[in-house]
């Protein structure tokens, strides 16, 4: 009888695998592009099904899981918000990449409190050349889209202007007001409802609202520089400040100001797939590791020291995944998921990752049969790219790891999501 039950369980397990295999391999939707998939059961230490798991794919924002892991390993509970030297009657300071200074989504005042409270003369050492505004492989025309703020050594206001309009208001508002003289109405801009356009190389913005009854909120990146950051700080603090050369202070002993809790950055970065935070986190990692802001060196260090057990070496170039030069395999992403779950408390994972039917980039997808999400996963989308990788909680109580990667498709991402939803729901109910 025992042998019969054992044989029956094996047959049942084989049937489940065959169902998944057929759903993925024979899908007419997935076959319209190039798909990789891997499903892993950590309790059994077993790959349940895999297809093209050893092939490299452009991951898009799945890259943010690598950024999260690197940051979690290195940054600690609070970021280094500012480096500074107090010398005589002077306070010389420079940026570490901290994204929270006057960011509209956060309330951290660490830097402002220090600069407000001092009676010393303020000097900002210009280390902006250490951070390229765009990473390798970014598209030049992202400069006026919300998802493409520039990277910088000392971000301010999230390196964006936030525009808002409600139906109750006659006029559009924006912050920071510092840019008031740079924003002009232009009724000749073609638009369906409203449009806000920035000059590619200058902080000159033109807008046109077709109706007073519009309601929206949108972010537009501005061109960063040390001089502009200084002017924005002076505008806020009401203090005199001077920009000076960074080189004489580069290797001198200095103090470090602690700032925002990393938890709040991780949650926003992963849940809504915030590109700016992801990029600045990798700048912070470089600062912590090398007291410089070279992201390439930080990526190399993390790859060699913390990711050397991945099945396939990651081709990793930025923090956000905006670069098409990033290349990962599904089985390496599954291994990363395993490492994250082994080192990060489960409640933090579920707080950080988007949850199916509930939060973030998958709040409209992968809904469970009750109030408890069954998918906690990171999306990744670029033109012709859609990926979803994370944790799947089955009805029987298992936690499985999966990575779905789609490249070179010409159909809509919604079609891919509907097909993935069928596959993942099947796994949710049957395992």
Apex CA 357: angle with CA 354 and CA 400, to 5°?
60
In a domain, 265, yes or no: no
Give the residue from 260, 285, 319 where a domain finishes: 260
> Over the stretch 204-238, which tens digit does the pLDDT of each residue have?
999 999 988 899 999 999 999 999 999 999 999 99
In whole angstroms, give the CA distance from residue 64 to residue 331.
Answer: 16
Q: Which of 374, 402, 372, 373 is nearest to 390 (CA)?
A: 402
- Asked if 427 contacts 392 with a C-beta cutoff of 8 angstroms, the reply is yes
> Over the stretch 88-128, which tens digit does the pLDDT of each residue have?
999 999 999 999 999 999 999 999 999 999 999 999 999 99
* Residue 384 pLDDT: 97
Q: What is the mean pLDDT of residues 43-59?
A: 98
Query: Is the same domain home to 139 and 245?
Result: yes
Q: Taking the CB of residue 139, how many other CB atoms lie within 10 A of it?
A: 14
Give the residue from 208, 227, 260 where a domain finishes: 260
Query: Is the same domain home to 45 and 150?
Result: no
- Asked if 277 contacts 267 with a C-beta cutoff of 8 angstroms, the reply is no
Query: Is the same domain home to 62 and 177?
Result: no
Three-state secondary structure call for residue 26: coil
In a domain, 208, yes or no: yes
Structure tokens at 30: 């997935």
CATH number at residue 35: 3.40.710.10
> Over the stretch 122-180, which tens digit does the pLDDT of each residue have?
999 999 999 999 999 999 999 999 999 999 999 999 999 999 999 888 899 999 999 99
In a domain, 292, yes or no: yes
- Asked if 283 contacts 270 with a C-beta cutoff of 8 angstroms, the reply is no
Residue 15 scores a pLDDT above 80: no
Give the residue from 209, 237, 260 where a domain finishes: 260
In a domain, 9, yes or no: no
Query: Is the same domain home to 389 and 408?
Result: yes
Confidence tier at 3 by pLDDT (50, 70, 90): low
Q: What is the mean pLDDT of residues 319-348?
A: 98
Tell me how many domains the chain contains.
2
What integer best gives the mean pLDDT of the chain?
A: 95
Residue 199 scores a pLDDT above 50: yes
* Domain span holding position 303: 15-72+271-430
In a domain, 2, yes or no: no
In a domain, 10, yes or no: no
Query: Is the same domain home to 66 and 88?
Result: no
Query: Is the same domain home to 253 and 280?
Result: no
Query: Is the same domain home to 319 and 231?
Result: no
Query: Is the same domain home to 207 and 223?
Result: yes
* Residue 389 pLDDT: 98
In the chain, count of helices (H) and strands (E)? Answer: 10, 16
* Residue 16 pLDDT: 76
Question: Over pLDDT 90: what percentage of the chain?
Answer: 93
In a domain, 247, yes or no: yes
Apex CA 8: angle with CA 7 and CA 12, to 5°?
120
Q: What is the mean pLDDT of residues 412-428?
A: 97
**pTM recorded for the entire structure:** 0.95
> Over the stretch 248-268, which tens digit does the pLDDT of each residue have?
999 999 999 999 999 999 999
Which DSSP state fits 143?
Answer: G
> Over the stretch 342-380, which tens digit does the pLDDT of each residue have?
999 999 999 999 999 999 999 999 999 999 999 999 999
In a domain, 30, yes or no: yes
Query: Is the same domain home to 276 and 399?
Result: yes
Q: Which of 51, 21, 46 is nearest to 400 (CA)?
A: 46
Query: Is the same domain home to 85 and 200?
Result: yes
* Residue 8 pLDDT: 44
Query: Is the same domain home to 294 and 338?
Result: yes
Query: Is the same domain home to 114 and 30?
Result: no
Confidence tier at 9 by pLDDT (50, 70, 90): very low
């Amino acid at each position: 009888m025992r042998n019969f039950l054992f044989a029956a369980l094996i047959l049942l397990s084989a049937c489940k695998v065959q169902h998944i295999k057929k759903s993925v391999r024979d899908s007419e939707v997935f076959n319209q592009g190039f798909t990789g998939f891997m499903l892993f059961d950590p309790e059994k230490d077993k790959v349940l099904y895999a297809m093209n798991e050893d092939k490299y794919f452009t991951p898009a924002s799945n890259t943010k899981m690598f950024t999260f892991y690197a940051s979690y390993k290195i940054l600690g509970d609070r970021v280094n918000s500012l480096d500074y030297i107090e010398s005589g009657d002077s306070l010389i300071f420079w940026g570490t990449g901290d994204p929270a200074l006057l960011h509209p989504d956060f309330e951290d005042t660490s830097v402002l409190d220090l600069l407000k409270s001092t009676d010393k003369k303020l000097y900002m050492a210009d280390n902006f050349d250490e951070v390229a505004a765009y990473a390798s492989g970014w598209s030049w025309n992202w400069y006026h889209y919300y998802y493409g703020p520039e990277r910088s050594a000392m971000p301010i206001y999230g390196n964006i202007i936030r525009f808002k309009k409600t139906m109750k208001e006659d006029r559009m508002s924006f912050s920071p007001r510092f840019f008031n003289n740079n924003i002009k109405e232009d009724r000749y801009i073609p638009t369906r409802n409203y449009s806000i356009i920035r000059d590619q190389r200058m902080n000159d913005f033109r807008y046109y609202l077709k109706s007073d009854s519009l309601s929206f909120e949108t972010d537009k990146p501005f061109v960063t520089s040390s001089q502009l950051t200084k002017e924005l700080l002076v505008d806020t603090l009401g203090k005199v400040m001077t920009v000076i050369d960074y080189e004489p202070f580069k290797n001198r002993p200095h103090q470090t100001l602690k700032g925002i809790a990393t938890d709040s950055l991780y949650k926003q970065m992963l849940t809504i797939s915030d590109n700016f935070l992801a990029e600045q986190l990798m700048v912070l990692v470089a600062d912590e590791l090398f007291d410089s802001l070279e992201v390439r060196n930080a990526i190399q260090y993390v790859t060699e020291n913390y990711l050397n057990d991945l099945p396939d070496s990651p081709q990793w170039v930025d923090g956000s995944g905006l670069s098409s030069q990033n290349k990962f395999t599904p089985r390496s992403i599954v291994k990363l998921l395993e490492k994250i779950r082994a080192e990060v408390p489960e409640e933090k994972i579920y707080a950080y990752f988007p949850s199916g039917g509930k939060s973030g980039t998958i709040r409209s997808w992968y809904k469970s049969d009750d109030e408890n999400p069954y998918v906690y996963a990171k999306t990744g989308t670029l033109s012709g790219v859609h990926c979803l990788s994370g944790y799947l909680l089955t009805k029987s109580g298992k936690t499985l790891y999966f990575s779905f990667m789609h490249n070179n498709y010409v159909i809509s991402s919604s079609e891919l999501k509907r097909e993935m939803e069928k596959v993942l729901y099947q796994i949710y109910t049957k395992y």
